Structure formats: structure tokens, C-alpha cells
Amino acid sequence: MDRSRADDLLTQVRALRWYHTIDLGGGVVTAGVDDTPYRLSRIGLPADLSGKSVLDIGAWDGFYSFEAERRRASRVVATDFYAWHGAGWGTGKGKAGFELARAALGSRVEDVDVDVMDLSPERVGTFDVVLFLGVLYHVPDPLAALTRVSSVAADMLIIETVVDMIGIRRPAAAFYPGRELNDDPTNWWGPNHAAVHGLLHAVGFTHVRSLTPERSAPYRAARAVWHAMKGKNRLVPAYRQDRAVFHAFKRQ
């Protein structure tokens, strides 16, 4: 990318609020509030997606969609709803971040503006790999949402989510009727690992594995004290909460 094009891109990038940290080339990196390269390193995205179709549900600025394309997926579809409609989410300018990044990267990622509750094979098709990253805890009815997600997943689902009620052996979920989680009223449920496994089996995935197993009680206790001291969270919820990644498959 030549200097004047990079300068022009930088001006456009700086005019938006970003969630994802995306390297657009020419030294231009979006100033996302999310440490996206770190989160990418945790989700176990296959290094080679050649010949695979990929659906990215809740794509926001599109980092994972562009990454799937970079890893040679044959087709990538990004979907979202809230973040692409402003109102406190995202750039405040609809899909402007996603569209600017797509143009800057010369990407052919397709986009569909659809609520997860309206996903169906008729609406978007079915996909070899489905990404459901950072969305589960935002939906009021997780079982219904995952039923929709399963309907468009032909084989592999990668799911990343807040988990809560860690240490409780039975499938359980914390309910956030208000702003209990991160002071965000759009957060509803924090399932524990067993509950995520149960939900995924219930909607038709035959094999489920945790990429990020539960951390030990002493680790969680020390981290909870640290988070409470920094004012990031209250002590007891912090002891029970984490983020976790699961891979689920439909195989005989």
C-alpha cells in the first residue's frame, strides 16, 4: 500500500470506534477495545480452512471472518444484527467498521444482517464451520439460539463464551436480569462448562470438547482478589466466572 493510501485509510479508521484490533496493512491497525489477536490464539481456529465454508455469527467488525478467509476458506459469510445497527453498539455508524475493513483488505467476505434467532438453512444456508464467539451470553434464550445455530452447522461449531457457576458440578447457569455482568444489560446467562456441554448435545452435536478446561480453585481465588482490588469485578462472582472455548461436531 502506498503512503498516501495508507494515510487516507488511517484517517478513515480514526473516524470510527472499533471493537476488533485488525491489521489492515500499510502499518494501519484498528484501535480495537478487544485484544483480538490474543482471543484468536485461544479459539483453536483450524490453520487451514481450504475448501470449507465458514459462517461467523455476531461478526461485528469482522476480524474472525477475514481471518477465516486468510486461512483459505472457500466461502465466508459474516452475520450480525445489534452491532451493525448502532444504538450504543459498535461504531455508532452501522456496519461502517466492517465495510471499511473489508474494502481495505480487498476481502470477498459476504454479509447478512440477521438476528441469531432468525438463522435458518433457508435464510443463510449451511456451513462446514460455524463461529459463535462472544454471543451466547447475550441471548435471552440460549437453548433456542443454539437450536438456530445448529440448524446452519453441517459439522463443526467453535463457541466462545462467558462461563459462570464454575466449581458447581451439575449443569448450571447464572442469570443476569440487570447489569450484573460487566455492567451490561445485554448480558443474560453465564452457563458453566457442564451446561454448555449439555446445551450443545441437546441441539444435536455428537462430540463436544472444552479447549479451556476449568481453572483450579486456588487460581480463581487469587485472580478474584486481584480483579476485586482493581475494581474490575466483585469478589464472589469473579471467583465463579471465566471465558471458555468449546469445539462441537456432528459426527457418527
Ligand X SMILES: C[S@@+](CC[C@H](N)C(=O)[O-])C[C@H]1O[C@@H](n2cnc3c(N)ncnc32)[C@H](O)[C@@H]1O
Selected binder of ligand X within 25, 81, 94, 212 (CB under 6 A): 81
**Of the two residues 138 and 247, which places its CB atom closer to ligand X in the complex?**
138
**Interaction between residue 82 and ligand X (CB under 6 A):** yes
**Of the two residues 5 and 146, which places its CB atom closer to ligand X in the complex?**
146
**Of the two residues 6 and 29, which places its CB atom closer to ligand X in the complex?**
29
Site string for ligand X, 102-141 (x = CB under 6 A): -------------xxx---------------xxx--xx--
Written as nine digits, the cell of 107 is 476481502
Written as nine digits, the cell of 34 is 478487544
Selected binder of ligand X within 8, 45, 86, 89 (CB under 6 A): 89
Q: How far is the CB of 217 from ligand X (least distance, A)?
A: 27
Residues 170-229 that bind ligand X (CB under 6 A): none
Tell me the C-alpha distance between 66 and 211, whole Å.
22
Q: What is the DSSP letter of 10?
A: H
Q: What is the DSSP letter of 226?
A: H
219 CB burial (10 A radius; 0-12, 13-18, 19+): exposed
**Of the two residues 126 and 186, which places its CB atom closer to ligand X in the complex?**
186
**Of the two residues 58 and 191, which places its CB atom closer to ligand X in the complex?**
58
**Interaction between residue 153 and ligand X (CB under 6 A):** no
Q: How far is the CB of 220 from ligand X (least distance, A)?
A: 22
Tell me the C-alpha distance between 99 and 108, whole Å.
11
Written as nine digits, the cell of 142 is 440460549
Selected binder of ligand X within 58, 142, 190, 191 (CB under 6 A): 58
**Of the two residues 98 and 239, which places its CB atom closer to ligand X in the complex?**
98
Tell me the C-alpha distance between 231 and 227, whole Å.
6
Q: How far is the CB of 180 from ligand X (least distance, A)?
A: 16
Q: What are phi and psi of 226, to 5 degrees?
A: -60, -45
- List b or e across 152-176, with b for residues whose CB sees 16 or more CB atoms inside 10 angstroms: bbbebbbbbbbbbbbeeeeebbbeb
Q: How far is the CB of 16 from ligand X (least distance, A)?
A: 15
Distances (CA, A) of 34 to 1, 37, 40, 220, 227: 25, 9, 11, 22, 18
Q: How far is the CB of 133 from ligand X (least distance, A)?
A: 3
Q: Are strands 127-133 and 153-163 parallel, antiparallel or unpaired?
A: parallel
**Of the two residues 80 and 166, which places its CB atom closer to ligand X in the complex?**
80
- By CB under 6 A, name the binding residues for ligand X: 34, 58-60, 80-83, 89, 115-117, 133-135, 138-139
